[in-house]
Amino acid sequence: MSMLPVGTVLNDRYELDRPLGQGGTGTTYRACDRQSQQTVAIKVLTLSGTTDWKILDLFEREARTLATLQHPGIPRYRDYFQVETPTDCYFCLVRDLVEGQPLDQLVEQSQRFQEQEVVAIATQVLEILVYLQSLYPPVVHRDIKPQNLIRQADGQLQLIDFGSVQAIARETLLGSNTFVGTLGYMPPEQLQGQSTPQSDLYALGATLVFLLTGRSPDQLQRQRLRIDFRPYASLSDRFASWLDQLLAPLPEERFGSAAIALRALQAPEPPPPIRDSAIVSSATSTVLSLRRPAGSNVELIRSPQRLRLRIPPQGLRLSLLGLAGFALFWNVLLVFFTATFAVSAPLFLLFLLPFWYVGIMLMAPLCLALFGQTILEVGRDRFQLHMTALGISKTLRGQTDDINAVEVANSGVRINDVPLYTCVLQVGIHRHQFGFMLTTIEQEWIAAELQQFLQQLV
């Protein structure tokens, strides 16, 4: 695309100073805001290749989303507008100018990052991703790479250039829904046009590999589709294993969220095993539990011989309000149609059966949130998992020795295209799910408590 001349004034307000970088979909300029006399960055995207001017609505929607982001690691998006010239049409996105150096430039200047420095960088980026994934719906960056992480003079990182705007621009220029991202940093699913919060975790892992090895991830060998970084970096086994999980080829094999990845990164080293002769326990004494997340109403009592978990109704949380409104509208409409045609056209009711099934599925998460209760009791010999909601109950019983693992995993259910995570009790070949309506922090806490209890029984 052609670049705009230095000195051009856009929207009668922003005077272009010099280009900061150019990509296939646009150019970013340093500019002066003549109203506030502040220096800003403007990304200018050409619209000359589009024949559908509704694309502007998509740009504006994404710009409004970016304008709502408020995090110290994300520059503030100030303004957006359209500019027309005799030869072209542009969409412009204005954000705060970030002073500093991209991480790729630091590596090119022969700076080598040690494990401790990389852990600090990973922590900062994960904190940004925790914020983005806490939004509803979660915001996926889609283009995390060293060039998009700016290190300021005080060591703080800024994450720039969200891929959502690039996606619209590429569709505009190329006329097709092509993938967005950078080869070497994109997970396999993103090459197929699919992005999830776990995609950003993979891109972060590939970025950390670049910092540790000084090589682009696509230049390194792979074993079973996984980047083999170990021969090029001297790392502790613990951090290397953590990095391996970020780089898992399948999204479900990575950490369930940035919050889980961050907690795993910051977890203290496990204590050395205690010899059996040194264990002193009492059947009536209580074991000190891991710290329950603040604000949680989950009840957990643990002694050396028994663990009891109770998950009471969670109530209608903010994340379910959109679903609640849609489910109410859907089912009220169904009741109206059912009542209307029950007498005049009863055969039409058969046509409504699939819609009633959808209505029931929409109401299921709400019923679980408002009325569902789960009680899990694990003893030295046997366990029992009891779940009930609106008078419907389900009870599972088994041998404690048959419990293979407790984990947090993707349930396979999506609400408003957002994956729903759950606690999973792996018993033999069967996987029993519970705790759908809990936050991932609560689910991870429960999984850790159960794992710790089962380990002490051995």
CATH of the domain at 10: 3.30.200.20
Annotated catalytic sites, by residue? Answer: 143
Q: Dihedral angle at the C-alpha atoms of 21, 203, 97, 157, nearest 10 degrees?
A: -130
Domain stops at, among 63, 80, 97: 97
300 and 226, same structural domain? no
Residue 279 belongs to some domain of the structure:
no
> How many domains would you assign to the chain?
4
102: three-class secondary structure by DSSP? strand
Residue 278 belongs to some domain of the structure:
no
* pLDDT confidence tier of residue 392, bands split at 50, 70 and 90: confident
201 and 111, same structural domain? yes
First-to-last C-alpha distance (Å) of the chain:
65
Residue 216 belongs to some domain of the structure:
yes
12-21, 27-36, 299-308: range with lowest mean pLDDT:
299-308
Comparing 23 with 271, which gets the higher pLDDT?
23
Average pLDDT over every residue of 199-217: 96
With a CB cutoff of 8 Å and minimum separation 6, the contacts of 114 are none
pLDDT reading at 105 higher than 90: yes
Residue 18 belongs to some domain of the structure:
yes
71-85, 136-150, 341-355: range with lowest mean pLDDT:
341-355
* pLDDT confidence tier of residue 16, bands split at 50, 70 and 90: very high
Neighbours of 92 (CB within 10 A): 22
Residues in the chain: 458
Domain stops at, among 271, 304, 326: 271
Residue 148 belongs to some domain of the structure:
yes
217 and 162, same structural domain? yes
Domain assignment of residue 90, given as a range: 1-97
296 and 437, same structural domain? yes
68 and 152, same structural domain? no
CATH number of the domain that 237 lies in?
1.10.510.10
pLDDT reading at 324 higher than 80: no
* Percent of the residues in the chain that have a pLDDT greater than 70, as a whole number: 85
235 and 210, same structural domain? yes
145 and 66, same structural domain? no
235-244, 366-375, 394-403, 411-420: range with lowest mean pLDDT:
411-420
pLDDT reading at 147 higher than 60: yes
pLDDT score, position 166: 63
pLDDT reading at 185 higher than 80: yes
* pLDDT confidence tier of residue 194, bands split at 50, 70 and 90: confident
112 and 222, same structural domain? yes
Instruction: Return mean pLDDT, the chain.
Output: 83
159-168, 215-224, 353-362: range with lowest mean pLDDT:
159-168
413 and 389, same structural domain? yes
Amino acid identity of residue 350, one-letter, is L
89 and 132, same structural domain? no
pLDDT score, position 123: 96
pLDDT score, position 288: 39
Residue 108 belongs to some domain of the structure:
yes
107 and 247, same structural domain? yes
CATH number of the domain that 442 lies in?
2.30.29
* pLDDT confidence tier of residue 331, bands split at 50, 70 and 90: confident
pLDDT reading at 31 higher than 80: yes
* pLDDT confidence tier of residue 29, bands split at 50, 70 and 90: very high
The per-residue b/e assignment along 222-248, b for 16 or more CB within 10 angstroms, e otherwise, is eeeeebebeeebebeeebeebbbebbb
Most confident range, picked from 8-12, 352-356, 419-423? 8-12
Q: Which stretches of 209-305 are assigned E, i.e. beta strand?
A: 222-223, 226-227, 299-302
Domain stops at, among 97, 115, 135: 97
Residue 335 belongs to some domain of the structure:
yes
166 and 247, same structural domain? yes
Residue 277 belongs to some domain of the structure:
no
